[in-house]
Chain A
Amino acid sequence: EAGVAQSPRYKIIEKRQSVAFWCNPISGHATLYWYQQILGQGPKLLIQFQNNGVVDDSQLPKDRFSAERLKGVDSTLKIQPAKLEDSAVYLCASSAHSGLLYGYTFGSGTRLTVV
């Protein structure tokens, strides 16, 4: 089966600019996650979707980050305006159900550099 697709692979922007990341999960996977991974740290959950509804966005900095999952398939994560500390890898993952026993499949991520 095809994996989780993410684009772009790399992005460099200046602070205060906006940026968007795209994720296409595995076909049929109802649950989608966005994680932020700062260099040297483990991934940190930003938001969880179940189909096209938000389940958990408690760690999403909502003053500058937004995410949507239209039609319960693809998802976009946006940052506006970006700050230097947003430099990180943004990982998208999907699972067949919300339960962990089904395992998460991660994409390769988008590496964002804010200068």
Chain B
Amino acid sequence: DAKTTQPPSMDCAEGRAANLPCNHSTISGNEYVYWYRQIHSQGPQYIIHGLKNNETNEMASLIITEDRKSSTLILPHATLRDTAVYYCIVSGNTPLVFGKGTRLSVIA
């Protein structure tokens, strides 16, 4: 079973920041937080991962709380192409276990 809790859906206006929350209160010390997204009719795509510190790459930023019990994925300037299901996954070194994710709809 997935170890994370995410809202089932969110809307975001095009050009605004999209902030996707994830709760992982049972995370262990050696487990990372991973984010993947799945655009319609495609396989999931890796976005970003982190352990303790905040992380940023060309796609997004990941903010992890100090107690590591929750995190937020930030898409700084959402576009229509960011409409997708976003999965937050917590894992050590075992295969990814996907929950139902958050369906993000970016609205023009």
Contacts and interface: CB of A to CB of B under 8 A. Distances in A.
A109 B93 CA distance: 24
Main secondary structure of the interface of B (DSSP, over half): loop
B20 to A, nearest CB: 15
A35 B62 CA distance: 26
A56 B96 CA distance: 12
Nearest to A45: B95
Contacts of A108: 41-43
Given A42-B2, A91-B43, A109-B43, A56 B93 contact: no
A100 B96 contact: yes
A101 B49 contact: yes
Given A98-B93, A100-B93, A93 B101 contact: no
The bracket for how many chain B residues form the interface is 20 to 34
A41 B89 CA distance: 14
Interface in B53-99: 87, 91, 93-99
A93 B43 contact: yes
Nearest to A48: B95
Contacts of B100: 40-42
A30 to B, nearest CB: 14
B46 A104 contact: yes
Interface in A56-110: 56, 91, 93, 98-101, 103-109
B9 interface: no
B96, B99, B100, most chain A CB atoms within 10 A: B96
A35 B95 CA distance: 11
B21 interface: no
B54 to A, nearest CB: 17
A104 B44 contact: yes
Given A41-B100, A43-B98, A99 B44 contact: no
16 contacts: A33-B95, A35-B98, A42-B99, A43-B98, A45-B96, A93-B44, A100-B49, A100-B91, A100-B96, A101-B49, A103-B49, A105-B46, A106-B44, A107-B43, A108-B41, A108-B43
Interface of B: 2, 32, 34, 36, 41-46, 49, 87, 91, 93-101
